[in-house]
Amino acid sequence: MIGITLSTDQIRSAPPDVRRWIEHQVLSSLGFAAEAPPPQATLPAPIAHLVACTADDAAKILAKIESVLPAVNVFFEFGRPGIFLGQPPVMMFRLIDILHHTRLQNIGQVTGCLEAINEALAEARHDPSVRFCGFDNEGHCLIAPESQRAIALLWQSVIARQRGVVEGEAA
């Protein structure tokens, strides 16, 4: 067995396929990924069902999931910038990062919240075939870039409303 140490700069400057392979190796060693990575990084079939959420869609999703706080936390994770990938472009988010940021206990809870978000969008659009997000087999969640922007704007409006309530109480 041979061990290799790579600096952060070396990993950052590596080609995308090499970075994905390193990420897969780390996740596999922690028990979070499949045994073998796919031969090449291709987008999974479920991406075809992804839809771009508008600001109105994002507000409707939030209204449908607001009573499930973990799902709300997961939903607002998509207001953060993600990694652009492919054509047509999608934004990629690591499930392990969402797990960490939301302080849920396992990936199953994260995917359960994501399914609730998918269902809320399907209900809001009256179309069971639409999906807010899709998954790849490397532990990533994929959404449309427009959805990320709509959620970021919704988050800003929620914060502005909260700020107005707090300022109104102080007056």
Looking at the structure, tell me whether residues 26 and 94 fall in a common domain: no
Q: How many domains does the chain have?
A: 2
Distance between CA atoms of residues 91 and 94, nearest Å: 10
Query: Are residues 17 and 70 part of one domain?
Result: no
Residue (of 58, 68, 83) closest to 142 by Cα position: 83
Pair (18, 57) in one structural domain = no
Q: Are residue 148 and residue 98 in the same domain, yes or no? A: yes
Question: Are residues 118 and 35 both part of a single domain?
Answer: no
pLDDT tens for the 171 residues of the chain, in order? 566 777 766 766 667 676 677 776 766 666 665 544 444 444 444 444 789 999 999 999 999 999 999 999 999 999 999 998 888 889 999 999 999 999 999 999 999 999 999 999 999 999 999 999 998 888 999 999 999 999 999 999 999 988 877 677 665
Q: Do both 83 and 129 map to the same domain?
A: yes
Question: Residues in the chain, how many?
Answer: 171
Q: Which domain holds residue 111?
A: 43-170
- 54 and 89 within one domain: yes
